[in-house]
Amino acid sequence: MNNSNGTNQRAYVILNAVTFNYTKTAVFDVFLSGKNAGGAGPLSGGGGIMAGVQLPLGEQTLTWILGGPEGMARNGDTVTAKNKLVIDRERIPSDARYVGVHIYPDDTAELSFANGLPKATDRGRQLWEEGSRNGK
């Protein structure tokens, strides 16, 4: 596939997606630019992997559905990340095989790239620790 400057560089990447959830409710039907990126229980992540997710380069749209018990605030709501997420070749290490999809309680998100399984972000680890101290 030719891109706009006539080279044979693909306009997409294929990565394995791993969802990290730093919120106190489950998230499911996580979609990154229309591609299923999995889901995760409350204050968890890295457990499920969606293999071979083809993602376009450029600005991304990330959505997820909030889970939880019936009557819980926002249960079943579809959320779109408030912040801008971009995948460009310069941000992806040449040996990357995974994209970490990190979902935060303020409806923002972050993407990370790794050769092996992605790790929690510094911000995410702090939220997990706070959640553990407060009994999830």
Q: Is residue 4 part of a domain?
A: no
* Ramachandran angles phi, psi of 9, nearest 5°: -75, 130
Sequence-distant (6+) residues with CB within 8 A of 23 are 42, 43, 66, 103, 104, 105
* Ramachandran angles phi, psi of 70, nearest 5°: -55, 135
Q: Is residue 17 part of a domain?
A: yes
- In CATH, what number is assigned to the domain containing residue 60? 2.60.40
Q: Is residue 93 part of a domain?
A: yes
- Quote the CA–CA distance of 114 and 92 in Å, as a whole number: 8
Q: Is residue 3 part of a domain?
A: no
Look up the pTM and report it. 0.89
Is the Cα torsion angle 101, 41, 27, 136 positive or negative in sign? Answer: negative
Q: Is residue 113 part of a domain?
A: yes
| pLDDT tens, residue order, the chain (136 aa) | 334 445 567 899 999 999 999 999 999 999 999 999 999 999 888 777 999 999 999 999 999 999 988 888 899 999 999 999 999 999 999 999 999 999 999 999 999 999 999 999 999 999 988 877 776 5
Q: Is residue 6 part of a domain?
A: no
Number of domains in the chain: 1
Quote the tokens at residue 102. Answer: 């990190």
Residue-level pLDDT at 7? 53
Q: Which domain holds residue 106?
A: 12-133
pLDDT in tens, 59-82: 999 999 999 888 888 999 999 999
Q: Is residue 128 part of a domain?
A: yes
Q: Is residue 62 part of a domain?
A: yes
